[in-house]
């Protein structure tokens, strides 16, 4: 895990070192939808969720983002008589490195890392529900396309590895978000 963290950190340092003379503060809010494929116990639930983001781009190459996400529940049949119903909510902080492409900087590829706090809800048929909490390391790749000066579209894929959450192992996430920039978004 440490080699992945160091690799992503070195990418951020390379991307942000070119931008020291171009610092601009560009806050934004975002709303999005996501699809998740998780590994829970011996099941692979598929979650649909909605997310909110509040972030800033410090320059064209680096930004940070606070996020909140809530998923709908998923039910999987474990045995002939038992079903497992799971869902979760999460919040945390992500850091992104951006690489603008093209002359007008309307399109950028992104890479990111983050840390999220997850609160899971699990219910096995015939038992009471159980809440569990822990954290996850988050790794992202994606793109941003600026539709206008203030609006951008961000498709993104993520890998999240859970720590200290019983029965939850890891998940892949695919999301699409719309961002509104309070100042120029390119």
Least confidently predicted of 3-17, 23-37, 113-127: 3-17
Render the burial of 101-140: b for 16+ CB within 10 Å, e for the rest.
eeeeebebebbbbbebebebebbeeeeeeeebeebbbbbb
Mean pLDDT of the chain: 85
Q: Name all domains of the chain by residue range, CATH numbers in brackets.
A: 2-181 (2.40.160.20)
Could you give the 3-state DSSP secondary structure of residue 182?
coil
Predicted confidence at residue 34, as pLDDT, reads: 96
Percent of the residues in the chain that have a pLDDT greater than 90, as a whole number: 52
pLDDT value at 17 more than 90: no
Least confidently predicted of 82-86, 103-107, 154-158, 168-172: 82-86
pLDDT (mean) for 69-88: 81
pLDDT band at 186 (very low <50, low <70, confident <90, very high): very low
Q: Residues 23, 93, 168, CA angle at the centre, nearest 5°?
A: 150
Contact 160, 136 (CB under 8 A): yes
* DSSP secondary structure, 99-115, as one string: EEESTT--EEEEEEEEE
Predicted confidence at residue 15, as pLDDT, reads: 52
Predicted confidence at residue 42, as pLDDT, reads: 73
- Overall pTM surpassing 0.85 (yes/no): no
pLDDT (mean) for 1-8: 57
φ, ψ at 33 (rounded to 5°): -125, 150
Residue 38 zone, left/alpha/beta (φ > 0; ψ -120 to 50; rest): beta
d(CA 59, CA 184): 11
Predicted confidence at residue 185, as pLDDT, reads: 42
**pLDDT, tens digit, for every residue of 81-138?**
778 788 889 999 999 999 999 888 899 999 999 999 999 887 777 777 778 889 999 9
d(CA 54, CA 27): 8
């Amino acid at each position: 895990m440490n080699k992945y963290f160091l690799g992503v950190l070195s990418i951020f340092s390379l991307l942000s070192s070119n931008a020291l003379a171009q610092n601009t503060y560009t806050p934004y809010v975002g709303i999005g939808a996501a699809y998740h494929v998780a590994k829970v116990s011996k099941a692979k639930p598929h979650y649909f969720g909605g997310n909110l983001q509040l972030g800033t781009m410090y320059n064209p190459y680096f930004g940070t983002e606070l996020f909140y996400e809530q998923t709908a529940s998923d039910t999987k049949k474990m045995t002939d008589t038992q079903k497992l119903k799971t869902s979760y909510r999460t919040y945390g902080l992500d850091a992104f490195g951006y690489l603008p492409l093209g002359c007008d900087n309307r399109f950028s590829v992104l890479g990111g890392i983050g840390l999220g706090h997850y609160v899971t809800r699990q219910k096995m048929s015939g038992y009471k529900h159980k809440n569990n909490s822990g954290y996850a390391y988050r790794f992202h790749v994606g793109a941003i396309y600026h539709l206008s000066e203030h609006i951008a579209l961000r498709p993104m894929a993520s890998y999240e590895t859970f720590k200290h959450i019983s029965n939850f192992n890891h998940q892949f996430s695919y999301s699409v978000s719309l961002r509104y920039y309070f100042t120029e978004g390119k």
